[in-house]
Amino acid sequence: MRIFAGNIAFLQTIYVPTFGSDDPLWSLANEFWYYVLFPCIVIACTGRFPKVRRIVALAIFILLVIFFRTHDGDGILQGFFCWLFGAGLAVLPEPAGLSPSLRRAGITITGLLLLIQLLLTYAPAPYNLEKGGFSQSDLILGVIFSGMMYFSLHDLLSVSEPYRETAKFIASVSYTLYLTHMPMLVFLEAWKGKRWDPNLLHISFATGILLIPIVYAIGIWMLFERHTDSLRRRAEAMLGL
């Protein structure tokens, strides 16, 4: 019960381990606290807010930093810098002076750097998700990936409507897939009951089995998350927002 309550309060990897077998949900704690830390920074540094509100926001930010340094080391705080790289993409100006070919070259170069950094980071010593921590390599990955995203967002290449709709659907389902894939894989592992030899037949079976969590996630998305925007609009209308 303590572990379940701690996960509800987004304290996994800080006070309690991640609940059950869904280890990837460790990152929800980071996501939640970044959505608290970032508004505190914005409010504290923006002159249009009342002075009292700015002081309160700054105090909350300082207390949270002390809290994380005490109980989580630098894990969530280092991860916050990675998160800020992504947030910064929303305010960076478009590279107006770059030709389409140079923008494409930027995507290619940063993509290759990202692949090299991933190999250097994870091949020798796989990252342990249960720690929920971040290292210097993660900061480097954050910088490189943000650079690739920056060039990709401002790429002038036009895409077809089917590609656009497919990409939009995959993005829509991705969060549900993140939430649900691990329990399904654990279930399939328990059902299988033993390890397979890495031969062509078993690799083919494993590839087919990997489709099951994807189909399962799409079904969950169609039942629930697909209706999030409409439910939000209804709630806002009822509350007069």
Q: Which residue has the higher pLDDT, 205 or 59?
A: 59
pLDDT digits (tens, 9 = 90+) for 72-129: 656 788 888 888 988 888 888 887 777 778 888 888 999 999 888 888 776 655 444 4
Average pLDDT, the chain: 84
Q: 65-74, 145-154, 163-172, 224-233: which range is least confident on average?
A: 65-74
Q: Identify the three-state secondary structure at position 16.
A: strand
pLDDT digits (tens, 9 = 90+) for 114-153: 888 888 776 655 444 444 455 677 788 888 999 898 888 8
The C-alpha atoms of residue 29 and residue 19 are separated, in whole angstroms, by 12
Tokens of 189: 């592992």
At 36, which helix (H) or strand (E)?
helix 27-45
